[in-house]
């Protein structure tokens, strides 16, 4: 566990300037936990008055809400079934144009050179050899037309092609009894998913959108498509994948979004 963690902190994803990454993280930190609830408190005068105390912006309510969110993770893990498939749709149902969505604008999306890009593999796997795009493109392809549901509420139907993630995990000799799979992305984004979801038949290491090379907007060179999870648990511009037993959290999860976020 310890070696795994230290290995990750030493290594930074290919093509990412660690200094820039830290600068980005520092920009984001004040937004997390404390400020989030203080921001909320300003609009909660009514509840404070009603109860006559400071329950809504104190650390008590923050802790209670986080504990319940962890409880909801467990409930969702129980509700999750590896045989329940996300509904699939006909070609005609595809949302066009499929929306671009991120915490930055489309022109700020990472522009990755596919020829020099490599998918770094780490953690509890037998073969840690990095993968090139050409190598990934030679693996057997699966396809799905499924609904992408955003945590904001909107949804869009897209068509994705790529490698079944469970097949890929098998191929690299991953220890599938490990608890989590962690993904690091080129722009500093990250997310962690539970192993049962990683092994779900529709969870895909995506190389194409609508049978064409994944465009920059949708995550070139690879995206992880998980139709059983909210959109923000579907990382784009992935540069590294780690199989591990510790929960490394994620960009939005660390700011208060529910960790499991299953559909």
Partner 1 sequence: MTLEATSNLPVTTGRAAKPLVHPRWVRITHWINALAVFMMIGSGWQVYDASPLFRAVYFPGPITLGGWLAGALLWHFAAMWLLAVNLIVYVTLGIATGRFRQKLFPIRPRDVWNDFTAALRGKLSHDDLAVYNAVQRLLYLGVIIAAIVIVLSGLSIWKPVQLKYLTDFFGGYDIARYVHFFAMSSIVAFLVIHITLALLVPKSLRAMIFGR
Among 84, 127, 143, 213, binds partner 1 (CB under 8 A): 84
Q: Tokens for 85?
A: 């498939």
Query: 233 φ, ψ to 5°?
Result: -90, 10
Contact 190, 182 (CB under 8 A): yes
Cα angle for residues 254, 252, 56 (degrees, 5° grid)? 65
Q: Is 149 in the site for partner 1 (CB under 8 A)?
A: yes
Among 52, 90, 140, 153, binds partner 1 (CB under 8 A): 153
Using the rule CB under 8 A, is 198 a contact of partner 1?
Answer: no
Rounded CA-CA distance 189/261 in Å is 17
Per-residue contact track with partner 1, 35 to 74, x per CB under 8 A?
-xxxxxxxxxxxx----------------xxx-xx--x--
How far is residue 176's CA from residue 182's CA, in Å, rounded to a whole number? 13
Q: Which of 74, 128, 150, 211 binds partner 1 (CB under 8 A)?
A: 150
- Our CB check for partner 1 shows the closer of 37 and 242 to be 37
**Measured distance CA(9)–CA(204) in Å, rounded:** 27
Stretch of residues binding partner 1 (CB under 8 A), selected from 11-19, 83-91, 104-112, 127-135 = 83-91
Shorter beta-carbon distance to partner 1: residue 40 or 249: 40
Both tokens of residue 62?
Answer: 């923050």
Would you say 132 or 257 has its CB closer to partner 1? 257
187 CA to centre of own chain: 13
16 CB-near residues (< 8 Å, 6+ apart):
186, 187, 188, 239
Question: Is residue 217 near partner 1 by the rule CB under 8 A?
Answer: no
Applying CB under 8 A, the residues found at the interface with partner 1 are 36-47, 64-66, 68-69, 72, 79-81, 84-87, 147, 149-155, 227-228, 252, 255-258, 262-263
């Amino acid at each position: 566990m310890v070696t795994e963690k230290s290995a990750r902190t030493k290594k930074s994803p290919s093509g990412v300037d660690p200094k820039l990454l830290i600068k980005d993280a520092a920009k984001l930190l004040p937004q997390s936990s404390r400020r989030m609830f203080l921001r909320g408190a300003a609009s909660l005068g009514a509840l404070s008055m009603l109860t006559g105390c400071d329950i809504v912006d104190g650390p008590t309510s923050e802790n209670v809400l986080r504990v319940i969110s962890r409880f909801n993770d467990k409930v969702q893990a129980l509700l999750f079934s590896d045989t329940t498939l996300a509904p699939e749709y006909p070609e005609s149902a595809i949302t066009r144009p499929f929306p671009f969505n991120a915490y930055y604008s489309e022109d700020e999306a990472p522009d990755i050179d596919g020829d020099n890009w490599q998918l770094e593999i780490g953690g509890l796997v037998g073969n840690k050899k990095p993968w090139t795009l050409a190598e990934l493109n030679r693996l057997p392809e699966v396809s799905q037309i499924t609904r992408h549901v955003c945590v904001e509420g909107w949804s869009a139907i897209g068509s994705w092609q790529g490698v079944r993630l469970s097949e890929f995990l098998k191929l690299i000799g991953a220890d599938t009894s490990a608890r989590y799979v962690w993904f690091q992305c080129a722009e500093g984004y990250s997310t962690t998913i539970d192993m049962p979801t990683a092994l779900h038949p529709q969870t895909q290491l995506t190389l194409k959108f609508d049978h064409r090379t994944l465009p920059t907007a949708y995550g070139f060179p690879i995206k992880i498509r998980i139709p059983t999870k909210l959109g923000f648990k579907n990382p784009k511009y992935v540069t590294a994948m780690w199989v591990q037993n510790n929960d490394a959290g994620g960009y939005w999860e660390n700011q208060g979004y529910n960790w499991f976020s299953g559909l």
